[in-house]
Structure formats: structure tokens, C-alpha cells
Chains A and B, each alone.
Chain A
Amino acid sequence: MTDSAIAVKRSSKWGDMWASIYANKAALCSLIFILLLVATAIVLALTQAMGLQILPYDPNTGSMDEAFIAPCAEHWFGTDQLGRDIFSRVIDGTKISLSVGVAAVSIALITGTLLGAIGGFFGGKLDNLIMRAMDVILSVPSILLAITFMAAMGRGLDKAVLAIGLVSIPEYARIARSCVMAVKANDYIQAARVTGDSNLRIILKHIVPNITSPIVVRATLGISAAVLDTAALGFLGLGVQPPFAEWGDMLARSRSFIFSAPYTLIFPGLAITVTVLAFNLFGDGLRDALDPRSRRR
């Protein structure tokens, strides 16, 4: 037997991950859908910044003569109470939902991971203090806490981002802390210490690469939760202010016409559900790909 016969093809972690996602059709479709959403949001933001309108109609203005047109060839999803084209508004809403979702998750991810990693790495009183603070935040239901923040800070999208981000910090802190503690217990960390590596070097070289997968999975699922929370805050009238299109806010305004024009609330709701579903499916697929132990039977 030659050496080459037993040489195993070296597989990288990320290569395995892509293969696993590629094999999972639901996750793959979700990923494609998410990329499409992101592209739509970016293209819309860029063209609107340049003063171009690529949507069939202006999402924020309409004429009262055209109010409540049922879905038809000109208006695929119909028009709302102000005569605005619902299709254009639903597509335009992608921008807000995605950017709020990503921004809120970024706040939570950066702050939470940092706090959890510091606690887990250094331990002791600092760790205790951080984790007890997280417990306090977790002992209030998250959407209620977000609403409380909004109630105090006032309405607006920027505040919604902050509120949703702040209340999800503990999830990331807990994950990061437990990962860091698990990695820290390994012999190779001891070895690195013995060879004189600094704390910073140990954190960057050994700990960070080991905690990325669970955090990335959590963040993907976190975006779906953030999109739902954004819609909920919008629905309660705390998020975006008129005339801008946001899915939750569109639903709130369609409520009065629930029997006379049900189509006004079918499509914004569908947009939320499909987006959240895509992030959930992709997140599940990512988790299975990165952590084979959790693979669903």
C-alpha cells in the first residue's frame, strides 16, 4: 500500500459547511431568497439615493382616486386606503425590515459576545456581575422590555433598532460565555499559556475561531426574531413614522379595512412570514452544517 492510497482528502470546515447546505434544499432555497432580499434592499437604497424610481409606483405617494383597487394587472397586490400601490410598498419595506434586523442583531451580537467572552475568559467576580445582569434582562419577556424601552425613548426606527438589540444581548452573552469556558478548559490553551502567549493572542488565535459557528447560527436565527419584533413594534405604532413603508405598520393601518379590503393585509403579512421563514430555515440548515451533533433526525 502506498502512502497516497491512505491519504485522505483534506476537508475544510467551510467546505463541509457548503456541501451540507447545498444538500439541504430548504436551506439552499432560503439562502437564495435571502440573497435576493439583500440585493433588492441594496439596489432600492442606491437607486432611491440617486433619485431614481425602479419600482412600478412611488411607494410613498398615491392618489385618493385610486384607493382600494383590488389586485389586478396594474396593481398586482392592489392599492391601500391612500391609493398607494401595495406591491411597491411591500418591496420597498424589504429595506427597512432587513436593515433594522441586521442592525439590531449587530448591536446584540457585538455587545453580547464581548460581554460573554470577557466573563467566560476572566471568570470570577466580573463574570458573576455580567451574568447576573444578563439574568435580570432575561427575567422580563423580551418584546415587553423592548416596548418599555420604546415607551421611554419615544417612537422611531433608530430607537426600535436599539430596543430590539439591547434585549437580545443576553442570548449572545450566554452562548459566547459557555463556548469560551469550554474552549478554555482544553489542554492546548494551557500549552499556549506555557509557551508564553498573551491573553490577547490566545483570545484571537484560539478562542475566536472556536466560538464563531454557534454565534453565526444564533445571529441568523436572531435576524428572523428581529424582523418579527420590528413588525410587532411597527404594528403597535412605535416603529417607522409615515409615510414610509414598513410591513408591521402597513398591517396596523389595514386593520380598519379588514373586511372591506382584506388584500391590503394579506401581502405585508406574507412578506414578514416568508422572510422570517427563510432566515429560520437557513439558520437551521447552518446549524446542522456547522454542528453535526445537532442534526435533526
Chain B
Amino acid sequence: MLLYFIKRVLMLIPVLFFVSVLVFLIMRVFSPDPATIVLGQHTTLEKANAWREQMGLNEPIIQQYLDYMYNVLHGDFGVSYFTNTPVTTELLSRLPATIELSVIAIIIASIVGVFFGIISAVKKNSLIDNFTMTTALIGVSMPVFWLGMLLIILFSGYLHLVPSGGRIDALMRPLGGTGFYFYDTLVIGDYEAFFNALQHAILPAITLAGYSMAIITRMTRSSMLDVLHQDYIRTAKAKGLSSYRVIFKHAFRNALLPIITVIGLQFGSLLSGAVLTETVFAWPGIGAYSVQCILRSDFPVIQGVVLIVAFIFVMMNLLVDLLYAALDPRVKYAQESA
């Protein structure tokens, strides 16, 4: 197990290295001269040159890359072209909002998805199965930002149940703290603020969860169906176990592996779905922020966001693989001997 773990972690290094090269090249090769974007089309040659010199853009590209990576490994993602603030500061202040939203979304998606997936599989071809599968199919076909807008129209526009955007009412914002509002408000015991944050989070979280919920439901259903056809399930039923016991103790535990895989992979893709969801709900996370930066070509910030998200994505994939090996002895054995 330890050997497998070390091998997998070492394999990350080349992947992350090439991702950083890819992102760096996209930003430098495909893009026009950032000086004309930042200083405007009508800037003078001297001014543009001075700015490039200041930003280190006159160095050879390999030198630029090495400098950039040296700084990144020391926690410095450069400086925003427009606000001149360090990218690290900007991202760190917004990352908690995105992580909080993604975690709530993946919890909702997993619980609802697994629940309906199991029901669908157990009651195969029933009304509820057909309804669930149709909903899941529509769920994967719907643009996430449209789902968000429909929820806003219904729940804030007509029903006035929840606010249509933002993360918490301005007056209730917890000062200092970790930036994770749920945690911060609970620690100081401000339950009113906690419920205010919860009200703000519910629609964006459901929106973000929608697509993953549909995928998890489908995966749970098909994985459960595979298992329910096995001989040992028939044996368990034949020896008179309750259907609850058969479904949860025998079937679900064995159907769990692919479900865990898909949940892990969905968490990674939630981070990119956050770009759209956060824009719709004016959620102050890195998703909405990176859209602003893309629209004004703030390359250092975009580069930082992509690197961080890719890092989290790759780490999630690694976690899924390790969990897989931990849960299924057959996987571990096969991969260690390979």
C-alpha cells in the first residue's frame, strides 16, 4: 500500500509540471502582447517597453517560466496586471467561498444521487425509476446557469424564500476568521448569521449540484443493478434476510466503488462548474472572479486560478485512486504486483 501510495504521488510531479508548462504556453503563445491590453492600444513604445521590463516580460521565455515556477513554489503567483495586488492574496481571500459552495454541493449531490439511484435500481422500471431517470437525463442536458436562473425566478422572484445572490447579508459578515462563513459563524455562536449564510448558499449549491446529482444517480443505479444480479444476492434473499439488509449490507457495499469514483471525479469538475454558478449568483468566489479577470485579460490571475484548480483536480483523482485501493483489496493487489 505504501509503495503504491509513493508511486502514485511521484507520478503527479510530471503531470503537474506539464500542466504548468501548458498553461504558461497558452498564455504566452496564443495571447497578444499584454502591454497593449493593459496600457491601451495607443501607448507609446517606451512606456510599453518599460512596463514589460517591470513585469519581467523581456526575459527569454524559458527564464520567465523558471522565474514564475520558482515563485509559485514559494507561494507567489505574481501580481495582477490591473489591481497590482498579489494574485495569491486575491485568490486566498476568495478560495474559502468556492470551497464552501463546492463542499455543500457535493454533499447534496451525493446524498440525493445515491438515494434516488438505489431506489431506481431496486424498483427498476417502476414509475419512480422512470421519473428519476428522465429527471437525471434532463439534468445532464440543462445548462447549469439556466438552472440557476430558473431557481432564482421561482424561489426568490415568486416565492420570496431566499435571496437571489451574494453570500451573506453585509451586516452579518463575520469579521476576520477563516473565510469559511459556516465555520466562522458557528464558532462565535452567531446562529442568525449562520442561517443567513445558509439561505444564501442553498440555491447556488443546488444549482452547482444539479449536474453531478444526475451523474451520481445514473452511476449508482447502474452499479447497483450490476450487483443485484449477482448470485450471492439471490443467496442472501433465499436465506430469508430482510430486503433492507440485502440492499444495504450486501448490495450497496459492493456497489460502492464506482459510486465513490464518480463522486470524487465530480468534486473536481464542480470547481469548474463554479465559474458559471458563481457568476449567476454573484457568489464572491474564485469562479466569478476569474470571469472578471478573463474579460479584462488579467493573465497572471487566470494562470494562478487554472494552476490551483488543476492541482485540486489532480489531487482529487489521486485521492479517489487511493480510496479505491484501500476499499478493494483486489485493486491493491493487482497494482502492486504490476
Q: Could you list which residues of chain A lie within 8 angstroms of chain B, going by C-beta atoms?
A: 132-133, 135-137, 139-145, 147-154, 224, 228, 231-232, 235-238, 248, 251, 255, 258-259, 262, 265-266, 269, 272-274, 276-277, 280-281, 296-297
Stretch at the interface among B107-115, B192-200, B266-274, B325-333: B266-274
- Distance in angstroms between the alpha carbons of A219 and B240 in the assembled complex: 48
Known contacts A140-B310, A144-B309; decide if A235 and B145 are in contact (CB<8 Å): yes
Q: Is the CB of B145 within 8 A of A147?
A: no
Residues on B lying within 8 angstroms of A by beta carbon are 14-16, 18-19, 22-23, 26-27, 29-32, 124, 137-138, 140-146, 149-150, 152-153, 157, 164, 222, 225, 268-269, 271-273, 275-276, 279-280, 290-291, 293-295, 297, 299, 302, 306, 309-310, 313-314, 317
What would be 20 A-B contacts, judged by CB atoms less than 8 Å apart? A132-B14, A133-B18, A139-B19, A139-B317, A140-B309, A141-B269, A141-B272, A141-B309, A145-B306, A148-B26, A148-B302, A152-B31, A235-B143, A235-B145, A235-B279, A237-B295, A262-B157, A269-B143, A276-B141, A281-B137
Q: Inside 8 A of A258's CB, which chain B residues have their CB?
A: 149, 152-153, 157, 164
Chain A min CB distance to B47 (Å) = 22
Chain B residues closer than 8 Å to A152, beta-carbon distance = 26-27, 29-31, 299
Contacts of A148 in B (CB 8 A): 23, 26-27, 302, 306
- 8 tightest A-B CB contacts, nearest first: A269-B146, A141-B272, A152-B31, A152-B30, A277-B141, A276-B141, A144-B272, A151-B294
Q: A144-B275, A236-B279, A237-B295 are in contact. Are A272 and B143 (CB under 8 A)?
A: yes
Closest residue on chain A to residue B218 by CB atoms: A296
A150 with B294: CB separation less than 8 A: yes
Residue of A whose beta carbon sits closest to that of B297 = A151
Tell me if A's interface is mostly helix, strand, loop or mixed.
helix
**How many A-B residue pairs lie within 8 Å, measured between CB atoms?**
137
Interface of B is mostly: helix
Find chain A residues with CB under 8 A from B15 CB: 135-136, 139
